[in-house]
């Protein structure tokens, strides 16, 4: 697993910096980001970058590509974001599995695991914005896309529970 943070200019998507955390493959991704920054690339360039891969060892789309795709979705308005500081009093939807919620829960959040979401849309309010959470914001990304495609107003809480835990350590 890799954790990727891309920093980019909101006005034009220009890539300004990146961080990558993980056990394997970090140097390759940092090298890709460093070259992209040196060349003045944007997150839109990252989406389309052709990066070397070997099918038995990885997918055709690298984590660098995915970082570009997610960032581009944010700038295009296809992935509305929220941050933990702004969720008080909002409708929270937790798409993690029951075991994860048992280990750490968010007070007042409605739990619908991601695999059940499409069949349980009727349980969600259409008259208020839904703030979606999971462990790292990946499942919340998919859940937010499902909600938006079904006419709901939704936002992905950036960084998920990991960001919440990190924020608690910082304060």
Cβ 2 vs Cβ 29: under 8 Å: yes
User: Do residues 71 and 85 share a domain?
Assistant: no
Asked whether the predicted pLDDT for residue 170 surpasses 80, the reply is no
User: Do residues 72 and 124 share a domain?
Assistant: no
User: Do residues 112 and 71 share a domain?
Assistant: no
Q: What is the DSSP string of 27-73?
A: HHHHHHHHHHHHTT-BHHHHHH------TTTS-SS-HHHHHHHHHHH
- Number of domains, the chain: 2
User: Do residues 86 and 50 share a domain?
Assistant: no
**Phi, psi torsion values for 2, nearest 5 degrees:** -120, 140
Average pLDDT over residues 18-25: 92
Token representation of residue 140: 């919340």
- β-strand partners of 15: 8
Identify the domain containing residue 144 by its residue range: 81-170
The whole-number pLDDT of residue 138 equals 87
Among candidate residues 56, 76, 96, the one where a domain is terminated = 76
Mean pLDDT, the chain, rounded, equals 91
Tell me the CATH number at 21.
3.30.390.30
Q: With a threshold of 0.85, does the pTM exceed it?
A: no
Could you identify the residue written with the tokens 């980019």? 8
Q: What is the DSSP string of 97-113?
A: -HHHHHHS--TTPEE--
User: Do residues 91 and 26 share a domain?
Assistant: no
Q: What would the pLDDT profile of 119-168 be if each residue is shown by its tens digit?
A: 999 999 999 999 999 998 889 999 999 999 999 999 999 889 988 876 55
Among candidate residues 76, 94, 113, the one where a domain is terminated = 76
């Amino acid at each position: 697993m890799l954790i990727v943070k891309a920093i980019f200019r909101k006005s034009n998507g220009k890539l300004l910096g990146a961080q990558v955390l993980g056990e394997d493959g970090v140097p390759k991704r940092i090298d890709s980001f460093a070259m992209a920054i040196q060349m003045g690339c944007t997150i839109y360039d990252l989406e389309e970058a052709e990066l070397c891969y070997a099918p038995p060892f990885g997918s055709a789309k690298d984590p660098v590509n995915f970082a570009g795709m997610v960032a581009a979705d944010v700038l295009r308005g296809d992935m509305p974001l929220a941050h933990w500081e702004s969720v008080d009093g909002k409708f929270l939807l937790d798409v993690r599995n029951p075991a994860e919620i048992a280990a750490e829960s968010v007070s007042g959040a409605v739990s619908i695991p991601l695999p059940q979401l499409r069949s349980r849309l009727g349980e969600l309010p259409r008259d208020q914005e839904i703030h979606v959470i999971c462990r790292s914001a990946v499942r919340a990304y998919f859940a937010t896309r499902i909600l938006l495609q079904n006419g709901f107003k939704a936002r992905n809480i950036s960084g998920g529970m990991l960001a919440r835990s990190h924020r608690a350590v910082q304060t």
